[in-house]
Structure formats: structure tokens, C-alpha cells
Amino acid sequence: MGVEPHGESPGGSRGKSEGTPSTRPPNWALGMDLGIRLGVSVALGLGGGLLLDSWLRTSPIFTLIGMVLGIGAAMVTIWNVARDAMRR
């Protein structure tokens, strides 16, 4: 009575498998993290390209460059998150 088993909260261990570290985020959190990072990467690249194109009055060359840079940053983000998740 009153003594909880090691690693178990008073409410029980619903949704967690035995032996999973408490610092590991749930799958939905990883998905949200990736979605936000990808969206921000592409939005910053696209927004920067659009601003440069409107400021320099150029054709959509900087928009395209910004999109490529944003997608490249998103790919690097996916790689880093996947690598970190596999190490756990």
C-alpha cells in the first residue's frame, strides 16, 4: 500500500509499454514536431524568396531558390530527427 512499483505513476501505466524510458515522447508528439519543423522550413524558404523577388523586382527566381532551400532544410530536419529516434 502506498508504494508504487519502480517507473509507474500512481495513475497506472496506460499506453506505455514495460521498460520504455519516460523521456521518450509519444508517437503523436514526434509527428507534430516533424510537421511543425517541415512547415516552418518550407515557409521560411518560400517567404524569403518571395520577399527578395518583390524587393528586387525579379522573376520568380528567388522564390524557386527559396523553395529549394526550404525543402533541403526540411530533408535535413527529417534526417536528423530520424537518426535521433533510431538511437533511442
Is this model's pTM higher than 0.85 or not?
no
How many domains does one find in the chain? 1
Task: Give per-residue pLDDT as tens, 38-74.
Answer: 999 999 999 999 999 999 999 899 999 999 999 999 9
Full domain range(s) for residue 75: 36-87
Residues contacting residue 56 through CB under 8 Å, at least 6 positions apart: 62
Residue 3 within any structural domain of the chain? no
Residues contacting residue 3 through CB under 8 Å, at least 6 positions apart: none
Rounded to whole angstroms, how far apart are CA atoms 34 and 46?
Answer: 18
Residue 28 within any structural domain of the chain? no
Residue 18 within any structural domain of the chain? no
Residue 56 within any structural domain of the chain? yes
| pLDDT of 9 over the 60 cut | no
Residues contacting residue 79 through CB under 8 Å, at least 6 positions apart: none
Residue 79 within any structural domain of the chain? yes
Look at 21 and 41; give whichever has higher pLDDT: 41
- CB 10, CB 26: distance < 8 Å: no
> Residue 72: its pLDDT value, please?
97
